C-alpha cells in the first residue's frame, strides 16, 4: 500500500523525492502523464490543467505493517 500527498510545486516535490530516497525511503512521483512520455509527445492533447497539477506535485510514500 502507498500513501499519497501533494507538495507546493514540482521543485519541492523533486527536492523531497531526492532527500527521502537518499535516506533510503523509496518515495516516487504519483504518476507521469501519458502526453509527457516520449512515445506520445506528438499526440494531440487538450487542456489537462487538472491533471498537470497533481502529476507535478504528487508523491507516493511507502506504507506497510512490515516497514
What are the cell numbers at 59? 508523491
Q: Is the pLDDT of residue 6 over 70?
A: yes
CA Rg, the chain, in Å? 14
Can you tell me the distance from the alpha carbon of 67 to that of 57, in angstroms, rounded to the nearest whole number?
25
Quickly tell me which residue has 500500500 as its cell: 1
The 10s digit of each residue's pLDDT in 32-55 is 899 989 999 899 988 888 888 889
Q: Would you say 31 and 59 are in contact if contact means Cβ atoms under 8 Å apart?
A: no
**5-28 average pLDDT score:** 94
Question: What is the reported pLDDT for 67?
Answer: 59
What the chain holds in terms of domains, given with CATH numbers, is 2-62 (3.90.1150.10)
Amino acid at each position: 500500500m502507498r500513501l499519497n500527498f501533494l507538495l507546493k510545486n514540482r521543485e519541492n516535490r523533486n527536492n523531497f523525492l531526492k532527500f527521502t530516497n537518499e535516506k533510503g525511503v523509496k518515495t516516487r512521483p504519483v504518476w507521469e502523464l501519458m502526453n509527457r512520455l516520449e512515445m506520445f509527445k506528438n499526440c494531440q492533447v487538450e487542456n489537462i490543467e487538472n491533471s498537470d497539477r497533481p502529476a507535478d506535485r504528487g508523491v507516493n510514500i511507502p506504507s506497510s505493517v512490515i516497514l
